[in-house]
Structure 1
Amino acid sequence: MGNKNKLAIITGATGGFGYSYAKHYASSGYDLLLTARDTPKLNAISTELREKYNVAIETVSADLSLKKDIDMLANRFVSLERIDALINSAGYSERSLFLNEDMEQVESMLNVHIQSTITLVHAVLPVMIKQRGGTIITVSSLAAFAPAPGSSIYASSKALLNSFMQSVYMEVQQYNIKVQSLCPGLTHTGFHKGAGIESVSKGKRLWMEADEVVRASFRALKKGKVIYVPGSMNKVIRMLTQFSPRRWYYFFAGRIARQFA
């Protein structure tokens, strides 16, 4: 891949937020490096965006639950001369009480959410610091503020990402590197169906579209918001989870969340 145009790297590019970010950057004239584990879908999206926006696109098939694939991607990123954006969008959720968790599955989730993000951010920072600019966005979750039964690993991994991204921001802001931890709530991406959460009619006001969330993400990025919760209802939920007396929160959140466990 040449280095004439700006380059955006996007993990989890085959659906949901990753696909929306890919469309945004391609429409802005960025070349893309897209990675996901679904090779046929990755190739189809690459062809679609290349033909529609006339940009150069490299695809790398990788399973971020595997450390060897994380390291493979990091080595590829280190070899690049220019990186203008890294979007850490890969992620998934499973509903299970912690006692019933399979430890191999726990390790896989931690690799996808935490190990891959930390490793890939570490790989791109030298390039961004050298060029004195860049953007790093990690897709976290509203769940980072709302620990609940059935999501002990998922929620805690997202909380760690928020802390990590804030620390990185404070370390690199002097180099004109923009950093954001995006904390969406319920979004139509296919993600929540995998976690057993359906968009029932009575809860439709809580749901957003992926493209809508990504547009809001970029508006917040321009304003320098490092931790960003899109959507007015999601902002209310965040405030309630953070400022409600803990005893009340444990009682009500526990009762609501147990139906998914």
Structure 2
Amino acid sequence: MSTQRSTALITGASSGIGAVYADRLAARDYDLVLVARREARLMALAEQLEQRYGVKVTTLTADLTDETGIRAVEEILHNNTAIDTLINNAGTAQMAPFLAGDVAQHQAINILNTTALMRLTYALLPRLAQNNRGTLINIASVLSIHARAGSALYSATKAWVLNFTRGLQEEFADSQVRIQAVLPAATATEIWELSGITADDLPAGSVMTTDNMVDAALAGLDQGELITIPPMHDETLWTRYEEARLALFASARTGEPAPRYLPR
């Protein structure tokens, strides 16, 4: 009896982080469905991966800021039962004061970074739950735990991704479905060209290559990490952060106003 090959669907796959994930998963003998807006790049990448690794690669040109594009990817996730891995990588940023952009720009970023990610996750998770196997990887950012002037919208969307992923991890904690949030710091991708800040504006040595980012993220997945921050060297920092976060949450469950808010 033949065994169905695993297939991974990767969004934002035409360059950068998505293209490296495609290469690495093809090397792991996954067939691929690559989704992005730039058809020529997708086709060239698909041909390259098929020749190099002998896997099957299909492509879908889709804009995930648009309802039509989201529905097209949902349909593939519903109908292609070989897909057992989803990498929600597509995303964008505009690193500028909130009032420097218009509402339509902000709405497009929000749809791409959050709504599309949620919709595609919802399209695949029922099958993963039924089969009790599969992998979901959501690409967030270290800016999900930090915000600064110019990153209000981007930080908010990535915080949404992180907390959405955390909640799913709790729901599927007793299953064999792997769910990982990846929090890259500055990474050498084309997002900088769109964001309004160049990588040259960042501190020397602070920008990670896409190859190192993806290799670290996959190593974290293999090690069973739920949250992976590729450039974080001191793991105790995350441990202390989590302890403080949970203590803060617990401290807010008293049902009583804190004394500093009571009349004196």
TM-score range, shorter chain: 0.7 to 0.9
* Inter-partner Cα distance in structure 1 for 2:240 and 2:188: 23
Residue 108 of structure 2 corresponds to 108
Q: Is the 8 A contact 2:93 2:195 kept in 1?
A: yes
Structure 1 residues 99 and 114: CA distance shift in structure 2, 3 A: same
Matches within 5 A, 1:1-261: 4-200=4-200, 203-232=203-232
Q: Which runs of 4 or more aligned residues in structure 1 lie more than 6 Å from their structure 2 counterparts after TM superposition?
A: 233-243
Aligned residue identity for 1:185: A
Cα deviation for residue 64 of structure 1 reads 0.5
TM-superposition CA deviations, 1:204-260 (whole Å, max 9, x none): 3211111111111112112322222111379799899998xxxxxxxxxxxxxxxxx
Cα deviation for residue 165 of structure 1 reads 0.3
SS in 1 for 2:172: helix
* Inter-partner Cα distance in structure 2 for 1:157 and 1:137: 16
* Inter-partner Cα distance in structure 2 for 1:215 and 1:231: 11
SS in 2 for 1:14: coil
Cα deviation for residue 107 of structure 1 reads 1.1
Cα deviation for residue 3 of structure 1 reads 7.8
* Inter-partner Cα distance in structure 2 for 1:202 and 1:159: 22
TM-superposition CA deviations, 1:133-171 (whole Å, max 9, x none): 111111111111111111111110000100000111111
Greater relative contact order (Cα < 8 A, sep 6+) = 1
- Identity within the alignment, %: 27
Moved more, 156-165 or 199-208: 199-208
Moved more, 51-60 or 199-208: 199-208
Question: Which one has the bigger helix percentage?
Answer: 1
Aligned residue pairs, count: 242
Q: TM-score, normalised by structure 1?
A: 0.85
SS in 2 for 1:136: strand
* Inter-partner Cα distance in structure 2 for 1:9 and 1:232: 27
Aligned residue identity for 1:147: A
Aligned residue identity for 1:14: S
Q: TM-score, normalised by structure 2?
A: 0.84
Q: Is the 8 A contact 1:184 1:234 kept in 2?
A: no
SS in 1 for 2:181: strand
* Inter-partner Cα distance in structure 2 for 1:227 and 1:193: 27
* Inter-partner Cα distance in structure 2 for 1:171 and 1:236: 26
* Inter-partner Cα distance in structure 1 for 2:239 and 2:148: 16
Aligned residue identity for 2:52: K
- Structure 2 unpaired stretches of 5+: 245-264
- Structure 1 unpaired stretches of 5+: 244-261
Q: Is the 8 A contact 2:96 2:196 kept in 1?
A: no
TM-superposition CA deviations, 1:180-210 (whole Å, max 9, x none): 1111111111222322333339823211111
* Inter-partner Cα distance in structure 1 for 2:237 and 2:107: 29
Cα deviation for residue 40 of structure 1 reads 0.7
Structure 1 residues 3 and 237: CA distance shift in structure 2, 3 A: same
Aligned residue identity for 2:155: A
Moved more, 124-133 or 111-120: 124-133
Aligned residue identity for 1:179: I
Q: Is the 8 A contact 1:3 1:82 kept in 2?
A: no
